[in-house]
């Protein structure tokens, strides 16, 4: 068993900032993440990754603090007791007891079903970024990016940088919404510069994917581009409809959820005593919002409210950016009605949309069709069902991720 003063789940920008804020107190801090290196999805490592200087600087600062223990390539498996979590890495499983807990579990892509979305060659927009950073060769391939939000531009830039030909970027938001958002960007100069650096001449608003076409593999994409249907031959389609917070662990622990995010107060405290949350799990808003929220949570975990309060104006600035982002890229009805009756909603269990006709809740869908009972345990289809039908998913049951039997046996031995 391992005992720490502060346990931080998630080593993305929020988790790293929380650890660095708390470290000068001398508290024993454990920073846990399922990736092999700290940085989260935005600063993900890989053979073809090009990390910014800030990511390297943050890693160096973490390494300089001897009271920060990095637990990379490690996942939370289950709750082991009061202020105790069962975790596992490639070698072993063990229990971590903590005094304070900071949840920085980040977000994942929202994937909505459409005809052909399960064809090989189709991935999420962020998924394509991760594959390319991990070494996927795409030089010379024709790529179409579709969905909603700034991640589309970032995904297209990654693909282009690694030799792909980006044919179209189809943004479902209307031109007016995108233009209004662009007008506000001077309030955040670094975001304005970033937008200029990511600009692509094939970006089109009021556009969306209609269907992925191919026999055994993606061969073409049918797009609605500002009201006109076009068929585009390509080898890859990267399609994501924004980000949704990772709430599974917070739900399992009993944290209150509001607006599909972990509910926190001005001090980043959740509804549970001694449990804080920061970053994308409290609402999508970008790296800067995640960092300042993480720092506030870190200060509060070591009882330094005066330091935390100093960051409130900065947090409000980036939360305002998050609100502008959410308003501009709200999903329209067009992309919520792409699936046909024979389109698979649950890829793991091959459940088509027709199997959910007449169901009134997520529990009814699962009982009638096994939707959400496959390998991903509803992480994809559950989020899609919530977006399409408004169904509220259940809090997950342990184990929260695949685990070895000997690790799970520790729960019985521990209790």
Whole-number Å distance between alpha carbons of 235 and 44: 24
Determine, yes or no, domain membership for 311: no
Q: What is the CATH number of the domain that holds 169?
A: 3.50.50.60
Does residue 325 form part of some domain? Answer: no
Is the same domain home to 253 and 296? yes
* Contact indicator for 142, 165 with CB cutoff of 8 Å: yes
Cα separation, 304 vs 307, in Å, equals 6
| 334 found inside a domain | no
Residues 115 and 165 in one domain: yes
Q: What is the rounded CA–CA span in Å between residue 81 and residue 205?
A: 49
What's the number of domains the chain is made of?
Answer: 3
Domain closes at, from 193, 208, 241: 241
Span 58-68, average pLDDT? 95
pLDDT, average across residues 168-182: 96
Position 189 pLDDT exceeds 90? yes
Whether 273 is in a domain gets the answer: yes
Q: Are 249 and 397 in a shared domain?
A: no
Residue 112 has pLDDT above 90, yes or no: yes
Which range, of 17-31, 188-202, 225-239, averages the lowest pLDDT? 188-202
Q: Model-level pTM?
A: 0.94
**Would you give the distance in Å from CA 212 to the centre of its chain?**
24
Candidates 42, 14, 15, 34; CA nearest to 133 is 42
Query: Tens digits of per-residue pLDDT, 192-218?
Result: 998 888 989 999 999 999 999 999 999
For residue 309, being part of any structural domain is answered with no
Same-domain check for residues 98 and 121: no
115 plus 231 within the same structural domain: yes
Residues 235 and 138 in one domain: yes
Query: Residue 164 contacts by C-beta under 8 Å, 6 or more apart in sequence?
Result: 138, 139, 140, 141, 142, 143, 236
Residue 54 has pLDDT above 80, yes or no: yes
Residue 69 C-beta-side C-alpha neighbours within 13 Å: 13
Q: Tell how strand 2-9 and strand 29-32 pair up.
A: parallel
CA distance 272 to 307: 22
Q: What are the helix (H) ranges across 329-360?
A: 333-336
The residues, any chain, with a CB within 8 Å of residue 414's CB and separated by 6 or more, are: 1, 80, 81, 84, 86, 95
The DSSP code sequence of 342-371 is TSEEETTTTEEGGGGTT--SHHHHHHHH-T
Non-local (6+) Cβ contacts of 39 within 8 A are 11, 12, 13, 16, 45, 51, 55, 58, 59
pLDDT confidence tier of residue 395, bands split at 50, 70 and 90: confident
pLDDT value for 48: 80
Are 102 and 149 in a shared domain? no
Q: Find the range with the poorest average confidence among 194-198, 275-279, 347-351, 393-397.
A: 393-397
Averaged pLDDT of the chain: 94
* Residue 78 belongs to a domain: yes
Specify the pLDDT at position 415. Answer: 66
10 and 86 in a single domain? The answer is yes
Domain limits for position 187 = 111-241
Residue of 384, 382, 379, 377 whose CA lies nearest to 393 = 382
CA separation for the pair 304, 92 (Å, rounded): 35
Residue 358 is given by DSSP the state T
């Amino acid at each position: 068993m391992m005992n720490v003063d502060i346990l931080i789940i998630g080593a993305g920008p929020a988790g790293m900032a929380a650890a660095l804020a708390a470290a000068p107190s001398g508290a024993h801090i454990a920073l846990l993440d399922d990736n092999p290196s700290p940085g989260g999805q935005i600063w993900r490592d890989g053979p073809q990754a090009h990390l910014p200087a800030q990511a390297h600087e943050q890693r160096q600062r973490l390494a300089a603090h001897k009271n920060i223990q990095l637990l990379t390539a490690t996942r939370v498996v289950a709750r082991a007791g009061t202020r105790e979590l069962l975790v596992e890495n490639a070698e072993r499983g063990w229990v971590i007891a903590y005094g304070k807990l900071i949840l920085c579990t980040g977000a994942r892509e929202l994937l909505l079903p459409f005809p052909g979305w399960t064809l090989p060659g189709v991935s999420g927009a962020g998924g394509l970024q991760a594959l390319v950073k991990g070494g996927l060769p795409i030089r010379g391939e024709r790529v179409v990016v579709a969905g909603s939000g700034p991640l589309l531009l970032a995904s297209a830039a990654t693909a282009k940088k690694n030799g792909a030909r980006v044919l179209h970027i189809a943004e479902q938001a209307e031109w007016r919404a995108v233009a209004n958002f662009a007008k506000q960007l001077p309030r955040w100069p670094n975001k304005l510069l970033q937008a200029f650096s990511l600009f692509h001449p094939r970006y089109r608003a009021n556009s969306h994917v209609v269907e992925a076409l191919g026999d055994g593999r993606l061969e073409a994409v049918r797009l609605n581009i500002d009201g006109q249907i076009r068929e585009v031959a390509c080898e890859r389609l990267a399609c994501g409809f924004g980000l949704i917070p990772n709430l599974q662990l917070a739900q399992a622990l009993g944290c209150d959820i509001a607006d599909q995010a972990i509910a926190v107060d001005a001090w980043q405290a959740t509804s549970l005593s001694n449990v804080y949350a920061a970053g994308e799990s409290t609402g999508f808003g970008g790296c800067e919002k995640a960092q300042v929220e993480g720092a506030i949570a870190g200060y509060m975990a070591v009882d330094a409210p005066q330091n935390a309060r100093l960051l409130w104006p900065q947090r409000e600035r980036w939360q305002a950016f998050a609100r502008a982002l959410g308003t501009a890229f709200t999903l329209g009805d067009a992309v919520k009605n792409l699936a046909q009756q024979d389109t698979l909603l649950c890829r793991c269990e091959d459940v088509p949309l027709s199997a959910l006709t007449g169901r009134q809740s997520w529990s009814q869908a699962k009982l009638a069709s096994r939707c959400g009972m496959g390998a991903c345990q509803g992480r994809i289809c559950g989020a899609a069902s919530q977006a399409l039908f408004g169904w509220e998913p259940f809090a997950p049951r342990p184990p929260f991720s695949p685990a070895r039997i000997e690790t799970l046996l520790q729960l019985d031995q521990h209790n």
